[in-house]
Structure 1
Amino acid sequence: MLERFFVKPHTIDRITECWLGPQIEQYVTALADRAYAPRSIHRRVPLLVKFATFTAAKNVKQLEQAENFIEPFIADRLSGRNSDRSVGAHRRDRNFVAGVMRHFFSLVLWEADSDRTRPPLPDPFAVQVPGFFDYLRDERGLRQGSIKHYRHYLRVFERHLGEIGCDPGALTLPVVTAFITIQAQHFGRTSMISLASNLRVFLRYLHRERILQRDISKLVEIPQNYRLADIPRSISWASVQNMLDQVDRRTVFGRRDYAMLLLMAVYGLRAREVALLTLDDIDWKRDRLHVRGRKAEHSTTYPLAPIVGEAIVDYLRNGRPDVQSRQLFWRHLAPQLPLTHSAVSATASKYLHRAGIPVSRPGSHTLRHACVQRLVDRGFPLKTIGDYVGHRAASSTMIYAKVQVGDLREVAQGDGEDLQ
């Protein structure tokens, strides 16, 4: 495999003769299988050869031991760089070296066959409270994303109980309250609401399974979340246009990003819904767009707006990689995989920052809020708007009624005599 990327024989000899030679060749094979560009491989391999030289000088020739020398190697590599370089340049250099080293070990050491990831952590309380996560999945019908939140908070709770030596069957309200008080120093209001809510469900399950004799779930206080207390983080439609103008549609990245941004701005799609779109969801004959992966397993069919259809066609013809999968949006850099919802949201955030639009927590939901706000400003009923963007409850749409920008402007500019 090395001969495919390196022409000079002495270069190949230098790679294969170092003590990491077999692992480097295995790494190159894994990169080639994942469609990494040759220039990317050319940048990574010399760095790994230098790492082999660095560790050999310290009498380390075992892969498991070498992993402990990643940070010293990074420090050694950066120590000789020009001190006049900017902080950003040093950060990029460090991120590149650290990223290459950790990626190498993830494919060669952590994955024996380059196809498996590290074994997942066991579920919290798997021994003491078996069946809880099956209960969440099978009886309550929660999505994996919601179950992931339970794992996160309960893992913190499990660690706390281990530190104080308390068993789930011996839980009392003071123990739970003390844990919540400690976590309040680290979590924000929204996270504390999630933490308390998840603990309530867990405690209720403990009582149902008779692991806990007393049901204390209702005694766990949840931080107050006042209805309609916040306002949507929407932006004006002029700002949306400004953001779209930042996309360079001459590139394959720009064509893809432009189509995704339009889907979020025109239809108010969530990042997850954009990431799950497939070629089969676009009905070209009837000019329809089917959105299937909505919350609570809902689906919506939209008329395909001409500007959105043209952007998708441009992406399909001149931007989408030649892959067999029916997934619509793909990465263009290796590894060649469908875009995740996090990548879709990060794309929206990138262009909002590039346009210099000040907004709290910029991302895909900023465009969703902008879509809803535009419909509110045009006088559409809240029920119609909620159905359009896939709100499950009317209360989700009602918050936009308090941000009637046009009406508020008239009130501010008037003399107040019309107010009774």
Structure 2
Amino acid sequence: MINLPSHFGTEVVMLEYYYVKPATVDRILANVAGAYIENYVSWLRVQGYADRNVFRRVPILCQFGEFASARGATDGQTALEHIEAFAQHWLSIHGKSCNSDVARAKVAYDARNPVRQMLELALYGSVGPHRQRKPFPFESEAPGFASYLRDERGLKVDTIGRYAFYLKGLSAFLDGIGATSLASVSPPLLATFLVERCAVLARTTRRDLCGTLRVFLRYCHRERIVERDLSAAVEVPRVHRLANLPRAITWDEVRDMLGCVDRRCALGRRDYAMLLLLVTYGLRGNEVAQLTLEDIDWQHERLNIPQRKAGHWSAYPLAGIVGEAIIDYLRNARPQTADRHVFFRSMAPWRPITSAAVSSAAVRYLKRAGVRVHRAGAHTLRHTCVQHLVDAQLSLKTIGDYVGHRSAQSTKIYTRIDLAALREVAMGNGEAL
């Protein structure tokens, strides 16, 4: 495994940085995976991994090199086939004292993960979960469906990903009952799948699942993949717009939540800036995650959100408290990287934060502040921003434009409730009202 791809990095942190004895360095480089290991160690250094991680991972990688070579691996590509076998081999040796399945799984993961990262770096030039494109569900039978969603329906990548998620469930169901093709799909079979699947889903998720199936089945009939149009056999459940109350909290609860953030550490500085963006501008979690340095116009004190859900962009005046929080993060907490995203993971490897991480941060501080809210997350703060604007008696058009609503109907729900009155009912016996 010593033949390196042409894109392999040339600027590396030599192993001498970590190992004082030349004999140790020579022994690592003499390993069949020595060149891979040296490049991987350089990557770990650049990504901000602690030295202890390097010392723990290098022996594992050396053993994997010998393990894979003994089983016929000649390069990184063929070595991929031996990752799982090595993880189980490592577990058989180092997992004897484990008392639970969770502990054993961690031992195997600690062996599997550095090997996978090293080989991905060697083969693809980077490390991440998307190195190899996963086939779209039913791609062999309906190869043009993903293109249809993108080109004809104009759906965004995230929306197409949700289609793939729902169709993956249908594919697994068909495999489980032995159905070999889409031609075997029938109304009773679809009904069985929906009853089984929808039992654990929320109302809106059920609606989205059924909508996905209808679009897919209609496409299959149009392309003559199936003889009958089975879309009518899938009834989309009705979800009323006003069935749920907005997940807003009071402004005092917002202050309590922000007060729980420890801004002395890097994680706190990052989270404080993200929370302020969510509650000040009513941004969505993905809009915060996708924010780049170019989106902040310091000269004109303006914040730009270029790609919103409705397909438009918004520009906001940069509030002083928000700007100060972002500057504090950029100067004292953001990792040194060429990537232009604003917010990054607080632990190695340094990668841009995801929308799920933004929402998790909101959940963490809401719980820490003792704020109880149904389905806490980033949208809780977005709802709070909208409700605050409604309480200030701004027009629905102004509020909708401010938070990027697609239509005024999305804003009207906030005018149907009086949160203060509802809280009075909850706190007392309600007789006065």
TM bracket (short chain): 0.7 to 0.9
Contact 2:57 2:114 in 1 (8 A): no
Cα distance in structure 1, aligned partners of 2:340 and 2:39: 30
Query: Displacement, 1:94?
Result: 6.4
Cα distance in structure 2, aligned partners of 1:359 and 1:415: 21
Partner of 2:113: 103
Cα distance in structure 1, aligned partners of 2:423 and 2:267: 39
Query: Displacement, 1:159?
Result: 3.6
**Pair 1:250-2:264 in alignment:** yes
Amino acid in the other structure paired with 1:136: L
Amino acid in the other structure paired with 2:110: V
Query: Structure 1 residues 161 and 67, CA, compared in 2 at 3 Å: closer, same or farther?
Result: closer
Cα distance in structure 2, aligned partners of 1:218 and 1:145: 26
Cα distance in structure 1, aligned partners of 2:93 and 2:250: 49
Partner of 2:374: 360
**Aligned residue among 301, 315, 320 for 2:315:** 301
1:283-316 C-alpha deviation (Å, 9 max, x unpaired): 2333221111211221111122111121122223
Partner of 2:51: 38
TM-score (norm 2): 0.81
Q: How does 1:222-241 map to 2 (within 5 A)?
A: 222-241=236-255
**Aligned residue among 124, 147, 157 for 1:134:** 147
Cα distance in structure 1, aligned partners of 2:301 and 2:245: 35
Query: Displacement, 1:202?
Result: 0.8
Q: Structure 1: any 5+ residue segments left out of the alignment? A: none
Partner of 1:266: 280
Cα distance in structure 2, aligned partners of 1:133 and 1:247: 42
Q: How does 1:268-347 map to 2 (within 5 A)?
A: 268-347=282-361
Query: Displacement, 1:122?
Result: 1.5
Task: State the SS of the aligned residue for 2:310.
Answer: helix
Query: Displacement, 1:273?
Result: 0.7
Task: State the SS of the aligned residue for 1:289.
Answer: strand
Partner of 2:9: none
**Aligned residue among 103, 117, 137 for 1:124:** 137
1:129-168 C-alpha deviation (Å, 9 max, x unpaired): 2211111001111111111111122223234344443533
Amino acid in the other structure paired with 1:285: Q
**Pair 1:6-2:19 in alignment:** yes
**Aligned residue among 208, 214, 218 for 1:200:** 214
TM-score (norm 1): 0.83
Task: State the SS of the aligned residue for 1:313.
Answer: helix
For the aligned residues, what is the CA RMSD?
Answer: 3.3
Query: Structure 1 residues 189 and 101, CA, compared in 2 at 3 Å: closer, same or farther?
Result: farther
**Pair 1:400-2:417 in alignment:** no
Task: State the SS of the aligned residue for 1:230.
Answer: coil
Cα distance in structure 2, aligned partners of 1:174 and 1:95: 39
Cα distance in structure 1, aligned partners of 2:220 and 2:298: 52
Query: Structure 1 residues 249 and 20, CA, compared in 2 at 3 Å: closer, same or farther?
Result: same
Cα distance in structure 2, aligned partners of 1:76 and 1:43: 16
Partner of 1:374: 388
Query: Displacement, 1:373?
Result: 2.2
Task: State the SS of the aligned residue for 1:297.
Answer: coil
